[in-house]
């Protein structure tokens, strides 16, 4: 494994992966390493995770349910990505399970076959926007695979950087923008419930991200979370029952690494427009943020999800 690519561990820091059982409200540690920092778990099947680390893509075979085994970096299996130099932590599984679409450091999206890897297919052409600098960051794929939910970051000729929600055609790479303004948006996804969009945005409270939804046939985002915390990366369970998201303490800017954060849960019915007077439930409090749940972490049967944390040993 390269020691120079991607995000690296701090002195005394450990990179860990957990699986969380929604029914029992319990978490199980399945991986820990003090040499490689893994991020953003996707769940390929009941026993396989897909993660990034050191700029590369990996699969991880989980210990059997009920086992107290904690795996280390020797359990990571590389997924070759011919034609892709380095990726970040925005990668999403195709609904078929036969491929994963990754966000590369060069700003484009690529399709990589699973589980064995191989030649990657470039899906976008960020350079076509020049002189505007464009980068695609993938966070979701439509249930039928017909659209990619991506954040399109652009830096104009005068140096202004914007981030907008876009539906990207996987056949042509063309983005169709759902938002196109000065408000920072991120973490977008297309839900399995009627093609509803979810994302986090600062349009309601500048400087403080909140979770929003756009229902089919509507143009204006509707706010879901409404508190003084900084809320990122909404993930609706495949069965539509539960809405998981990452929550920072008030005042945090962006979605930095190495903060005290919470994983919170809301009823999935809120995404469909139901008015539910309910406070979010905090499932886990952890040391993390960037890399914890940047992309969809749910198991296909909605009974569990995976997440990462990054504790630092006390001196």
- pLDDT tens string 108-117: 999 999 999 9
Report DSSP letters for the chain, one per residue. --SSSS--PPTTB-EEEEEEETTTTEEEEEEEESS--EEEEEEEETTEEEEEETTEEEEEEPPPTT----B-GGGEEE--EET---EEEEEEE-TTSSEEEEEETTS-EEEEETTT-EEPEE---GGGGTTSEEEEEEEEE-TTSS-EEEEEEEE-TT--EEEEEEEE-TTT--EEES--SSS-EEEEEE-TTTT-EEEEESSSSTTS-EEEEE-TT--S-EE---SSSEEEEEEE-TTSSEEEEEEEPTT--S--SSEEEEEEEEEGGGGGT-----PPEEEEEEEESTTTSSS--B-TTSSEEEEEE--B---
Q: Is residue 3 part of a domain?
A: no
At 144 the pLDDT is 93
pLDDT value for 136 = 98
pLDDT of 275 reads 74
Domain encompassing residue 139: 15-309
pLDDT score, position 4: 53
Would you say residue 74 lies in a domain?
yes
pLDDT at position 195 is: 81
Give a yes or no: residue 5 inside a domain.
no
Question: What is the reported pLDDT for 272?
Answer: 81
Whether 10 is in a domain gets the answer no
CATH number of the domain that 155 lies in? 2.120.10.30
d(CA 62, CA 96): 21
Spans of the chain, pLDDT less than 50: 1-3
**What pLDDT is attached to residue 66?**
87
Residue 218 within any structural domain of the chain: yes
Give how many domains the chain has, as a whole number.
1
Within a domain: 1: no
Q: Is residue 281 part of a domain?
A: yes
Separation CA 300–CA 178 (nearest Å): 27
Q: Tell me the pTM.
A: 0.95
Residue that is written with structure tokens 């202004």 in the block: 160
pLDDT at 77: 98
| Spatial separation of the C-alpha atoms in residues 300 and 48, rounded to whole Å | 11
Q: Is residue 8 part of a domain?
A: no
pLDDT at 117: 96
pLDDT in tens, 54-78: 999 999 999 998 899 999 999 999 9
CB 193 within 8 A of CB 271: yes
């Amino acid at each position: 494994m390269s020691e120079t690519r991607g995000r690296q561990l701090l002195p005394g820091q450990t990179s860990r992966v957990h699986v969380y059982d929604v029914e029992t409200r319990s978490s199980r540690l399945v991986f820990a390493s003090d040499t490689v920092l893994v991020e953003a778990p996707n769940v390929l099947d009941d026993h396989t995770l897909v993660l990034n680390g050191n700029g590369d893509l990996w699969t991880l075979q989980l210990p059997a349910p009920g086992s107290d085994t904690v795996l280390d970096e020797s359990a990571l299996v590389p997924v070759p990505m011919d034609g892709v130099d380095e990726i970040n932590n925005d990668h999403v599984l195709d609904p078929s399970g036969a491929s994963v679409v990754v966000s590369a450091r060069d700003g484009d999206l690529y399709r990589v076959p699973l589980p064995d890897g191989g030649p990657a297919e470039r899906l976008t052409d960020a350079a076509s926007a020049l002189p505007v600098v464009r980068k695609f960051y993938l966070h979701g794929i439509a249930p039928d695979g017909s659209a990619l939910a991506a954040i399109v970051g652009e830096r104009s000729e005068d140096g202004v950087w914007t981030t907008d929600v876009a539906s990207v055609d996987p056949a042509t790479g063309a983005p169709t923008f759902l938002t196109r303004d000065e408000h920072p948006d991120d973490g977008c996804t297309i839900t399995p419930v009627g093609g509803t969009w979810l994302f986090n945005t600062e349009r309601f409270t500048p400087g403080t991200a909140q979770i929003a939804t756009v229902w089919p046939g509507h143009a204006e985002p509707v706010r879901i979370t409404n508190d003084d915390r900084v809320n990122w990366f909404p993930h609706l369970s495949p069965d539509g029952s539960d809405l998981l998201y990452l929550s920072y303490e008030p005042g945090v800017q962006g979605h930095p690494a190495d903060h005290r954060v919470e994983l919170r849960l809301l009823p999935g019915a809120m995404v469909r427009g139901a008015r539910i007077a309910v406070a979010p439930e905090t499932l886990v409090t952890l040391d993390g943020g960037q890399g914890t749940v940047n992309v969809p972490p749910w198991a296909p049967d909605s009974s569990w999800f995976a997440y990462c944390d990054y504790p630092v040993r006390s001196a």
